[in-house]
Amino acid sequence: MENFCRLLMNCGISEFEASAIAKMLLASICGGLIGAEREMKGRPAGLKTFSLVCLGATLIMITNDYIFKYVTNGTGDIVRMAAQVISGIGFLGAGSIMVTGHNQVKGLTTAAALWVTAALGITIGSGFYQGAIAGLLIIYISSFIYKYIDYRIMRGARTMRFYIESEKEEVMLHLIEYFKKHDIKVTSLQRKSENKWYSPDACATIEIYLGKRVLHQLVIDDIKKLDGVRYVEEL
């Protein structure tokens, strides 16, 4: 980074301006890398959003540094603007959180990623490049590792939630019989007609307690075999 700044300074740019350009470029790249992972999963906030959040946080820190050095001559609170970024990013994160038709909350991970991207931008804007790059690597690597761990844990969890549509109401009775046969406890059952693909169908969102560790896919496969089941999906 220092070599890049020297290269810019050789073009007649001041040290502060060269440092600001380097910070903004790094912030744009780091934010874009985090956003790329969310975009590949089809999330509402993607590469451009994350890049802009990181760049914006960095710009605020650069402006903060400029005011502190050249306007107030080293007086005032240098971390005040950073604190406002951390609290202010909440509105953007809240906008990415939604509740689906099956009462399923989505977007929490995206909101958290936006928040940590803003923090990454502050780190870059303050000139702590090593910390920013280390943070980016940890964020990127941990997102893939935790995704795998989460999959391993959840596929055999004792609680399970799924949505089912059937051609007739009798299928729900067969489903209850299946639960009794396998000692499965129904903890929640909601009927919502507005979620149906086909209006004459019976549909429900069901939460169950398996009692023992069973692969969820095996339960879904058994339910699909019930006569009259049109559609079933784990939530």
CATH code of the domain containing 207? 3.30.70.260
Q: Within this chain, do residues 13 and 46 fall inside the same structural domain, yes or no? A: yes
Give 68-112 pLDDT, tens digit per residue: 887 777 766 777 777 778 777 777 667 666 656 555 667 777 788
Whole-number pLDDT of residue 98: 65
Give yes or no for residue 10 having a pLDDT over 80.
no
Q: Within this chain, do residues 142 and 192 fall inside the same structural domain, yes or no? A: no
Instruction: Summarize the confidence of residues 31-57 as an average pLDDT.
Output: 77
Q: Within this chain, do residues 68 and 12 fall inside the same structural domain, yes or no? A: yes
Q: Domain count for the chain, please give it.
A: 2
Whole-number pLDDT of residue 199: 63
| Position with higher pLDDT, 99 vs 32 | 32
Q: Within this chain, do residues 54 and 6 fall inside the same structural domain, yes or no? A: yes
Instruction: Summarize the confidence of residues 57-77 as an average pLDDT.
Output: 80
Residue that finishes a domain, picked among 125, 154, 183: 154
Whole-number pLDDT of residue 1: 65
Give yes or no for residue 193 having a pLDDT over 70.
no
What residues make up the domain containing 189? 159-234
Q: Within this chain, do residues 23 and 135 fall inside the same structural domain, yes or no? A: yes
Give 141-186 pLDDT, tens digit per residue: 877 787 777 777 777 788 888 888 888 888 888 888 889 888 889 8
Residue that finishes a domain, picked among 154, 188, 208: 154
Q: Within this chain, do residues 18 and 105 fall inside the same structural domain, yes or no? A: yes
Q: Within this chain, do residues 16 and 120 fall inside the same structural domain, yes or no? A: yes
Whole-number pLDDT of residue 195: 59
Q: Within this chain, do residues 44 and 109 fall inside the same structural domain, yes or no? A: yes
Which amino acid is present at 122? I
Q: Within this chain, do residues 150 and 163 fall inside the same structural domain, yes or no? A: no
Structure-derived torsion over alpha carbons of residues 90, 96, 101, 102, reported in degrees to the nearest 10: -70
Q: Can you read off the two tokens belonging to residue 37? A: 């992972």
CB-CB contact of 105 with 97 (8 Å): yes
Give 216's strand partners: none
Q: Within this chain, do residues 56 and 102 fall inside the same structural domain, yes or no? A: yes
Whole-number pLDDT of residue 107: 72
Phi, psi of 208 (to 5 degrees): -130, 155
Scan for tokens 């507005």, then name that residue: 194
The rounded distance, in Å, linking the Cα atoms of 22 and 35 is 20
Scan for tokens 């910390």, then name that residue: 131
Residue that finishes a domain, picked among 154, 181, 202: 154
Scan for tokens 């038709």, then name that residue: 101
Whole-number pLDDT of residue 196: 61
Show Cβ contacts of residue 216 under 8 Å, excluding neighbours closer than 6 positions: 154, 155, 156, 157, 160, 234
Q: Within this chain, do residues 109 and 199 fall inside the same structural domain, yes or no? A: no
Percentage of the chain exceeding pLDDT 90? 0
Q: Within this chain, do residues 126 and 169 fall inside the same structural domain, yes or no? A: no
